[in-house]
Amino acid sequence: MNYNWNWGVFFEELPGGEERYWEILVNGVGWTLAVSAFAWIIALVLGSAIGTIRTTPNRLLVSLGNAWVELFRNVPLLVQLFLWYFVVPEVSAPLKAWVVQAEPSHVQFMMAVIGLGLFTSARVAEQVRAGIQSLPRGQRAAGMALGLTTPQTYRYVLLPMAFRIIIPPLTSETMNLIKNSSVALTIGLAELTFRAREMGEYTFSFFEAFTAATLIYVAIAMTANRVMALVERRVAVPGFIAGGAK
Amino acid sequence: MDTPMIDIRNVSKWYGSFQVLNKCSTQIRKGEVVVVCGPSGSGKSTLIKTVNALEPFQEGEIVVNGIPVHDPKTNLPKLRAQVGMVFQHFELFPHMTIIRNLELAQTKVLGRNQKEAEERGHKLLKRVGLSHHSHKFPGQLSGGQQQRVAIARALAMDPICMLFDEPTSALDPEMINEVLDVMVELAHEGMTMMVVTHEMGFARKVAHRVIFMDEGAIVEDATKEDFFGTPRSDRAQLFLSKILSH
Amino acid sequence: MDFDFDVIQRSIPYLWKGFQYTVQLTAISALGGIVFGTLLALARLSSIKPLYLAAASYVNLMRSIPLVLVIFWFFFLVPLILQAVTGAERPPQVGAERTAIITFIMFEAAYFAEIMRAGIQSISKGQVGAAYALGLTYGQSMRLVVLPQAFRNMLPVLLTQTIILFQDTSLVYVISATDFLGAAAKIGQRDGRLVEMYTFVAVAYFVISFTLSYFVKILQKQIAVIR
């Protein structure tokens, strides 16, 4: 194969800059993690709310929740990001005013966080809904029979168990979210994959650059897995086997 | 005291076009213990769940201690705080310790302070013979123990009456008696009880009246002596002969 | 803000070409992915150590890294591999569109592999036992007894994954391939009508994906009844 190997490329400097290539990769990782973290907060908060209301007896709330999920599930993430970045500012004058004078990376970051957060919130909503519905029916009845109101029943009885049950699928969603953050490179966000490609374009050491990015993503995935497994162990209920206690 | 504690008047209920309750009427006075029996599908569980509004009904009226259950203006959580319910599958909250199970509704619904609630909880645990298990989780207890805790949980609310929905049907045979003993004691102390059960020994011991249901209707409503002595309907006779012979 | 519906209408022929590529890519990748994925699943379930290690590593790797990165990898590697294989002087020009097909087959295979693995494992061991007892070889029992059942059971999940694949194809944008979104982007950038084009694309994707998922749900209900 006709390829010039150069594993030392990571220590070379960018043309014109004083940064080395490994430094810009680290910079990229920072943006990846930052976007992922903020988007995850949005996704968890909104997704839990939407997932919960889809299990209430109120038909209107259930329909609203379902509409939300269908909306964000049926449009590709890339298209959603483009809508936030290119279309929404055109529709909202105050937003456009901010976008025009703001630092480009800030705009990219914000749109990436919103787009990725809302996209993922629909998936989280699905998991939360499934988790609540997998609980034995009698749990809700027992809560109400004691005189707890519906919000109290959700808060003290249903949600604590539902969230424990869905830790494994939520872990997958966390990994998906981190991987999906790479799509933000299309609106210019300088996250890890963007930087890896940039490095390849400057040095033609694509193999080295992509290998580094690959290893970093694998490392992030393994860490996320480990962390979630720890969380699952910490909050596990003694004597409870997932899937309904009888 | 002439007004009945539980007054069920002409209650009918349909699931879609299928009728599950057919003009059921009965009264339970303060201090009475009424056993409801019948083949499966007879509607006895559904009937008992209408008393504390866990199941809605389309026709008829139910009044509990002067409070109309069917009235949309009634504060249901407040009503349910006064009516204790014990479920077939215990329905303890698996993510809470036993003592927390007992104090949750006391603090959140009745507004008792933490200390008061805990004291009451410990007292009741002692009464059902489970003092040493207060800090365990439901998953660590046997079925019989869980059900006794469930009874204590309902009693912690100082209810005016107690509803039991097949309390021993999910228990292994050797644990049935420990639960029935608690229920017998309750009856002797003068608690108003409505009990759906197959345990005719219990009925013979403490029931004042026995109601036999079949296909959604109350077919027999007689004093214990009359019911076991000379039941009038053929269906009740057939049912009795089936369960008493095993 | 004036919304120019006209630009959408004028662009339909070009958009249609892009859409055709999207559908082609989806269909070929789904078929190729399911075939390769089934082989991967069988490899993972086999008792030959190097085989299942290789398959497991491949599947886990593909599932740990972003699709965007995988697209870049293949875009970069495919010409080099072809050069090595054909012994050419310079890496051949493989267009973005064709590289994408290889990429998506290889990538989606990892996801289809997990689905098929679950499907195969859900077939009771008794079925395999009965097949062997009748004298069928491994290949025959897989082909005639296990895989048909596994495939039928997992059909709704496979279709749902295909709908996801349909949406994922939009990522060929990063190598400037002209799929449905790419076509819309090109027109939008040329005419300064990004708002109209991207909105149109979003609505189109929504309608198509929503309709397809609806049919999958109906299919699921029918299968449940039959079982």
Q: How confident is the model at residue C227 (pLDDT cuts 50, 70, 90)?
A: low
Q: Is residue C193 part of a domain?
A: yes
In this predicted structure, what is the pLDDT of residue A1? 53
Q: Is residue C127 part of a domain?
A: no
| CB contacts, 8 Å: C80 with chain A | 1-3
Q: How confident is the model at residue A245 (pLDDT cuts 50, 70, 90)?
A: very low
Domains and CATH numbers, chain A: 11-244 (1.10.3720.10)
Least confident among A5-14, B2-11, B136-145, C115-124 = A5-14
CATH for C105: 1.10.3720.10
B80 and A CB contact within 8 Å = yes
Q: How much is the mean pLDDT over chain B?
A: 91
| CB contacts, 8 Å: A94 with chain C | none
CB contact under 8 A, A86 and C195: yes
CB contact under 8 A, A185 and C181: no
Q: Is residue C151 part of a domain?
A: yes
Q: Is residue C93 part of a domain?
A: yes
Find the largest Cα–Cα distance for chain A: 75
Q: How many structural domains compose chain C? A: 1
Q: Chain B: give the shortest CA distance to residue A38, in Å.
A: 29
| CB contacts, 8 Å: A141 with chain B | 49, 54, 87, 91
Q: Chain C: give the shortest CA distance to residue A145, in Å.
A: 34
Neighbours of chain A (3+ CB pairs under 8 A): B, C
A106-161 confidence digits (pLDDT tens): 999 999 999 999 999 999 999 999 999 999 999 999 999 999 999 999 999 999 99
Q: Write the ipTM.
A: 0.90
A5 and C CB contact within 8 Å = no
Q: How confident is the model at residue B241 (pLDDT cuts 50, 70, 90)?
A: confident
A82 and C CB contact within 8 Å = yes
Q: How confident is the model at residue B102 (pLDDT cuts 50, 70, 90)?
A: very high
- Is C83 buried (19+), middle (13-18) or exposed (0-12) by CB count in 10 A? middle
Most A-contacting residue of C69, C81, C200, C205 (CB-CB within 10 A), to test interface: C69
CB contact under 8 A, C72 and A210: yes
CB contact under 8 A, B108 and A145: no
- Is A16 buried (19+), middle (13-18) or exposed (0-12) by CB count in 10 A? exposed
C81-129 confidence digits (pLDDT tens): 888 888 877 778 888 888 999 999 999 999 999 999 999 998 877 788 8
Neighbours of chain C (3+ CB pairs under 8 A): A
Q: Which residue has the tokens 């910079």?
A: A27
At A244, phi and psi to the nearest 5? Answer: 115, 120
- Chain C CA closest to residue A224: C64
CB B226 within 8 A of CB B208: no
Q: Is residue C66 part of a domain?
A: yes
Sign of the dihedral defined by the CA atoms of residues B101, B102, B107, B113, in that order:
negative
In this predicted structure, what is the pLDDT of residue A184? 96
In this predicted structure, what is the pLDDT of residue A246? 34
Q: Is residue C107 part of a domain?
A: yes
Most C-contacting residue of A73, A77, A79 (CB-CB within 10 A), to test interface: A79
| Measured distance between the N- and C-terminal CA atoms of chain C, rounded to whole angstroms | 55
Q: Is residue C130 part of a domain?
A: no
C119-153 confidence digits (pLDDT tens): 999 887 778 888 888 888 888 888 888 898 899 88
Q: How confident is the model at residue C9 (pLDDT cuts 50, 70, 90)?
A: confident
Alpha-carbon span B158 to C69, nearest angstrom: 64
- Is B47 buried (19+), middle (13-18) or exposed (0-12) by CB count in 10 A? buried
Q: Residue C203: which domain range?
A: 5-121+135-226
Q: Is residue C126 part of a domain?
A: no
